[in-house]
A and B are shown apart, each in its own frame.
Chain A
Amino acid sequence: MAKKWVGTSIKRKEDASMLTGEATYVDDMQLPGMLHCAILRSDYAHANIKSIDVSEARKLPGVIDIITGEDVKEYPLAAAVEFAHFDLKSPVKQAYLLAVDRALYAGQPIAAVAAVDKYIAEDALDLIQVHYEPLTPVVSMEQALSEDAPLIYEEWGDNVQMQVPSKAGDVDAAFAEADRVIKVKIGEHRYCAFPLEGRAAIADYKPRTGKLHTWISSQASSAPRANFAKTLKIPEQNVSVTVPHVGGAFGTKLNWSVETIPCLLSKRTGRPVKYVENKIETFTIGPHARDYVFNGEVACKNDGTILGVKADVMFDLGIESSYRGTAIAKCVILLKTFLGQYKIKNYSFLSRAIVTNKAFQCSYRAFGKEQGSRFIERIMNIVARELGISPEEIRLKNYIQPEEFPYRTTSGALYDSGDYPGTLKRVLEMADIPSLRKEQARLEEEGRYLMGIGIASFVQPSGSAVPDGYLNGMEGATLKLLPEGGFILSTAHCTLGQGIETTLSQVVADEFTVTPEDVRVIIGDSDKAPYSSGGFASRGAAWVVGAAVTVSRKLKEKVLRFGAHVLKVEADEVELKDGKIQVKRDPAKSVSLHELATSVHFWPGAIGVLPDEFLYTDPSLDATAYWTAPNPPVSWAAPINLYCTHPNGAEVSTILIDKETGKITVPKRFVVYDCGTLINPDIVKHQYIGGALQGINGILNEELCYDENGQLTTTTYMDYLIPGSHEMLGETVFEHQETPSPFTPLGCKGMGEAGTFCSVSSVMNAVEDALGITITKTPLKPQTVLDYVKEAMEKGTLNRRREW
């Protein structure tokens, strides 16, 4: 099929509505009689709740309802992920949408008010009296694992929610055979996305019919329908979830426990209830992300061949994460994805999820996959430096080669395609390392700045189907050819800023030889489309496009047969061209899609135009279809492939360290990225660049700081250093490569999370290049950087000879 629109950077269809204020987000909606919800949060990180007195608050005019832990006991939260096949060491038996009897972190919702306006709802919170009995909080992983640590979930006997070992090959033999064993300790601090639009929900429960309609800012519409239904004990067929425009998500809007609070208030009051969290709630309630430490050992030969890796990984989850968030799945995903682009046959890993009295974790661009990638990419550079070989050479020595695809890693992942050496060589060529080295020497001579040059590469597992829970893969779409010749594609996927309405219309347009303007995409409504797992794990270009192509081809087959019947020829004698069905050998004989659709629907109508075999079975010009990736994961027990596509890329980042202030800037970056067949190259490029700032600023400036009492001290954009225009990265020289995936219908690979993988690895490697020492502490805020500069000066590593 000729591609006309796929591969073209058409301007986004979404933009005009966003640029004019027409686009609707949850908080832009108002329903008649709507109440407003405000949430009282725990003052303590860990405390028994002895009593809650809401009597004064109830007397405030305008307050309609108040709920506390007592009112939610009959509504235990439905789990988001469960690991039936795994030894989930310590399952939490029940979790609730408000704290019941005990508060587990500062900021945990403990009571909620519904009032006639949001000001009165907030006033009412001040009148609620809570009698706390403070308990000792657990504020670090070290403390959590210590002998005398307070237990957050007493029934567990310790503070470990999950402990997953993973092994492949013969790691002991690999270490025995090694020329060198190099120890590596890396980690990251706690930080997260905090999108401009926080949590937002409107719940409208109709007591007479028992129907609940919710509008939420979310990455999925089908899964929360089941979640709300199960938690609130409403039959799922009576629950509707609509996701309008979403003001950023990045993985953080895949948990719905807080959104259930306005749902319950609506169920109790019989009135619509809106909850829009303020930014302090965005920070304190969570979700959070990262906050892990790797202690690893690498067995290698002197020539750089990696023989085996051992590692112990610990995640600081905050409170449990199987009901509120899905973070325990990260511990497993990391084990399946950390091998990156390398042929590492032997490894032994232990991944542990530790609970503390902090906000819960969920996903954040890219749900553990970026952690595995950063680990292996840092290892490559650290080991290369120890061995005195170049970071390029060590990668080329260990890469999977282009002719080896599809490639099954020892952890079970099945890589689709790519040219890893080619991608790396191209980015090095673009960067012109020798001239960068000259510039580095010149700046060192001058004295004020230290320049670093960092290379890194990555494979980006995307398009997940994670068994046991809402992250499972199921993706359907419905396509209709309307009487006047236009198309409507319906998907319950969500629009988070990825431009998916544009890209899907490009895909359908090509299938029917029409234009993207002929295709309207309806998105984010559980009522209007078949089941969709949602917008996470870079699923769009793999699964949603997969469903769009499959449904297009299903409808196309019908359209061609109808058209052939009208043209009085056989179906194999016609083809689609320029929006017409035409006879191949006589193109003058044709019927346009518009004419065909009109004749089927109206003049003369299906009875007059369709042959009996369609008239009495399926006279419609609609189709519904699902797409499932090949090589799906079957069970957690075996080595499994969780992601159907594996884009890859390589980067060179240059950084400058100001020796006087400790500030790090990133003046220039070079990126080569391959996500298979491109649908809209500009959309890919700009999502990548945006993701890179998220990644890099996260590692440099952002930090969620808890004090010794378990109080979060960074609770607004004022004290949490979200990147502004002055943190903008310097120039990015960006180049696409296209190695189609054999596993998706158009060869596309999911890309949304790509920007956060390699950006961090290449910048960290650049900092180490500048200083000549290994960085173990993040974020790299100025004071930390100054400490590292001092360390490097003392060790004399600043002016060492660089090997590449």
Chain B
Amino acid sequence: MEALTAEVVVNTIKELGSMVLYIILGTIILEILVYLVLGKIFKSKYTLPYMLMIAAIFGIAMLVIYPIGYEVRLAFTNMSLRHFRSYTLSWAQGLKNFGLIFSEPVLKQIRFFPLLFRTLLWTAVNLVFHLAGGLGLAILLNRQMRGRGFYRALLVFPWAVPQIIAVLAWKGEFHYEYGFINVMLKSIGMQPIQWMISPFWNFAAACITNIWLGIPFMMIIILGGLQSIPLEFYDAAEIDGASRWQQFRNITLPLLKPVLTPAVVLGIIWTFNNFNVPYMINANELETTDILVTALFRSAFEYHRYGFSAAFAIIIFIVLFIIASVYIRITHGLKGAYE
């Protein structure tokens, strides 16, 4: 076992410190370059904003744009563990990679379209429960009563626990013999469930975990929105004889929209891209619990098909981009966010 010694601490600080020094040096060089080129040669009036941004632009270019460009290039190669250094790059190989995604199983058995369907199901189920649970609890909490702060503090627990810990703990609780769910089921005389082996129940287990994790975020966001709705609206509606349901439909929901839309966009993206929950709950590597992103990780790091998985990643990104754009287009969710 390695322990935390003074030597380790010094080494860490040396390594990270020298990195920071290089970054500072690089930034100074970049700033001087921008100043000379934009300020002295082009006499641009935007020299200062570009100088403010250049470090971030360079960082994002090197660590986000360059890797993505590299990934596009990878998609046209046959790189794998066997062909790690001696891979071939060609249009034909690229077409073959993209074709393979739709014509052959992506992993051992599962094909692309069932996987896509399961990912959409996963996103829909989680989002519906997050919204319903969050909205319900927020409405219950949005009133004057005893213990409100106490309830609120307890209800955000699932959001506050580091996700890895929560997911691994839930994985333990789905144990056939010792997990509390099965112990409780048995004590009320029901059959325990094979959470880790049955394909259906394993997927259900992942959903339960993620629903538990996601409700507090929606609850807090919606509660904030509810509190900004003036009570006079409801008083006026009551005088006009509107029922509770009519008040909810015609006052609460429309006025919540500016808060809900960005929260739902984030929710879709986070759930669609959720890696930790389906990957870790799935201890037996059931392909029936995989969603697109976990299948992507497996195809790259368990099957080591780097070229193929790069093509796969591009397809996944396109799917997500389409879904999010359609949603934003329908709801005009980000109108005015640019100004």
B is a partner of A? no
Residues of A participating in the B interface, judged by any CB pair closer than 8 Å: none
